[in-house]
A and B are shown apart, each in its own frame.
Chain A
Amino acid sequence: MATETTDVAGVCVDAGGSALGMPQLCADWMPNQIFWLVITLIAVYFVMSRVALPRISAVLAERSGTITNDIAAAEELKNKAAQAEAAYDQALLDARAEANKIVAEAKAEIQAELDVELQKADAQIAAKTAESEAAIAEIREGAVKSVTEVAKATAKELVAAMGGTADAKTITAAVTARMKG
Chain B
Amino acid sequence: MATEEYSEGGSAFQFHPLDQFIVKPLFGDGPVSWYTPTNVTLWMAIALLAIVAVFVLGSRGRAIIPTRLQSVGELLYGFIYKMVEDVTGKDGVKYFPYIMSLFLFILFSNYLALIPMSYSPTSMIAVTVILGFGVFIAITILGFVKNGPAFLGLFWMSDAPAFLRPIIAIIEIISYFVRPVSLSIRLAGNIAAGHVVLKVFATFAAAAIISPAAILGIIAIYGLEILVCGIQAYVFTILTCVYLKDALHPAH
B41–A36 CB distance below 8 A: yes
The answer, among A1, A52, A56, A62, for a CB contact under 8 Å with B2, is A1
B62 with A15: CB separation less than 8 A: no
Is A19 a contact of B16 with CB atoms below 8 Å?
Answer: yes
User: A14-54 CB contact bits vs B (8 Å, 1 = yes)?
Assistant: 11111101111110111111111111110111011101110
Inter-subunit contact B19/A19 (CB<8 Å): yes
Q: Is the interface of A mostly helix, strand, loop or mixed?
A: helix
Contact A18 B48 (CB under 8 A): no
CA A55 to CA B97, docked complex, whole Å: 13
Name the contact of A35 in the complex, choosing from B3, B34, B131 (C-beta under 8 A): B34
Tell me whether chain B's interface is mostly helix, strand or loop, or mixed. helix
For residue B22, CB closer than 8 A to chain A, the reply is yes
**How far, in Å, is A52 (CB) from chain B's closest CB?**
4
In the complex, whether A10 has a CB less than 8 A from a CB of chain B is yes
Chain A interface size, under 10 / 10 to 19 / 20 to 34 / 35 or more: 35 or more
Bound Cα distance A35, B192 (Å): 20
Q: Cβ of A39: which chain B residues have Cβ within 8 Å of it?
A: 44
The contact sample of 19 A-B pairs, CB cut-off 8 A, is A19-B22, A24-B125, A24-B126, A32-B35, A36-B41, A37-B130, A37-B131, A40-B45, A43-B48, A45-B98, A47-B48, A47-B56, A49-B101, A51-B55, A53-B55, A56-B74, A56-B77, A59-B62, A63-B64
What is A's interface to B at a CB cutoff of 8 Å?
1, 4, 8, 10, 12-19, 21-26, 28-41, 43-45, 47-49, 51-53, 55-60, 62-63, 66
